[in-house]
Chains A and B, each alone.
Chain A
Amino acid sequence: MAAVATTTFALVGNPNCGKTTIFNALTGLRQKIGNYPGVTVEKKVGSFFTQHGEKRDLVDLPGTYSLVPQSPDERVTRDTLLGLQPDIPQPDRVICVLDASNLERNLYLATQVLEVGLPTVVVLNMMDIATAKGEKIDLELLSDRLGCPVVPTTANHSDGLLALRVALSQPGLPNSSVYADFTDLENVSEAAIAARYERIGSIAAEVISYSVVDGEDRTDRIDAVLTHPVWGWAVFLGLMGLMFWSIFTFASYPMDFIDASFGKLSAFIQETMPAGDLRDLLTDGIIAGVGGVVIFLPQILILFLFIGLLEDSGYMARAAFIMDRVMSRVGLHGKSFIPLLSSYACAIPGIMATRTIESPRDRLATILVAPFMSCSARLPVYGLMISTLVPTGVASAGTKAGLMMLMYLLGTGGAFFFALLFKRTFLRGEPPPLVLELPPYRVPGLVTVLQHMLSRGSAFLRRAGTIILGLSILLWFVSTFPRTEAGLSGSFAGRAGHFLEPVLEPLGFNWKIGIGLIGAQAAREVFVATMGIVYSIDGADENTEPLRVALLKDHWPDGRPVFTPLVSLCIMVFFVFSMQCIATLAVVKRETNTWRWPLFQFFYMTAFAYVFTLAVYQLGRSLGY
Chain B
Amino acid sequence: MITDESPTLLSDVEPGQHATVTAFIGDLERTKRLREMGLLPGTRIKFVRWAPMGDPLEIELRGYRLSLRRHEAELIQVLSEVS
Contact = CB atoms under 8 A, between A and B. Distances in A.
A105 interface: yes
B35 A228 contact: no
Given A105-B38, A197-B40, A324-B56, A436 B51 contact: no
A65 B67 contact: no
B64 A324 contact: no
Interface string B50-83: 0111111010001111111101100000000000
Name the 7 nearest CB pairs between A and B, nearest first: A325-B53, A438-B65, A436-B67, A229-B52, A102-B64, A104-B62, A66-B36
B52 A227 contact: yes
B66 A431 contact: no
Interface in A296-332: 317, 321-322, 324-326, 328
A436 B28 CA distance: 19
B66 A438 contact: yes
A436 B72 CA distance: 12
Interface stretch (A161-169, A187-195, A519-527): A187-195
B34 interface: yes
Contacts of A433: 30-31, 33-34, 68-69, 71-72
A102 B51 contact: no
Nearest to B63: A102
A108 B67 contact: no
B66 A437 contact: yes
Interface in A121-135: 133
Interface in B12-64: 28, 30-38, 40-41, 48-49, 51-56, 58, 62-64
Nearest to A219: B65
B1 to A, nearest CB: 17
A170 to B, nearest CB: 31
A101 interface: yes
Given A324-B55, A433-B34, 4 more contacts: A105-B62, A227-B49, A324-B51, A434-B72
Chain B contact residues, majority secondary structure:
mixed
Interface of A: 65-66, 68, 70, 101-105, 108, 133, 188-190, 193-194, 197, 219, 223, 227-229, 232-233, 317, 321-322, 324-326, 328, 334, 430-431, 433-440
B63 A65 contact: no
Contacts of A66: 33, 36
B51 A322 contact: yes
Interface residues of B, number: 31
Contacts of A431: 71
B68 A435 contact: yes
A33 to B, nearest CB: 27
Q: Which of B30, B48, B64, B66 has the most CB of A within 10 A?
A: B64
A440 B65 CA distance: 8
27 contacts: A65-B33, A65-B36, A65-B37, A68-B32, A104-B38, A104-B63, A105-B62, A108-B36, A133-B63, A188-B32, A188-B36, A193-B36, A197-B40, A219-B65, A223-B48, A321-B51, A322-B51, A324-B51, A325-B53, A325-B54, A334-B56, A430-B30, A433-B31, A433-B33, A433-B34, A434-B68, A435-B33
A336 to B, nearest CB: 14
A278 to B, nearest CB: 59
Contact of B67 (A229, A233, A321): A321
B62 to A, nearest CB: 4
Q: Which of B28, B65, B68 has the most CB of A within 10 A?
A: B65
A108 B39 CA distance: 12
A228 B50 CA distance: 10
A108 B38 contact: yes
Contacts of B31: 433
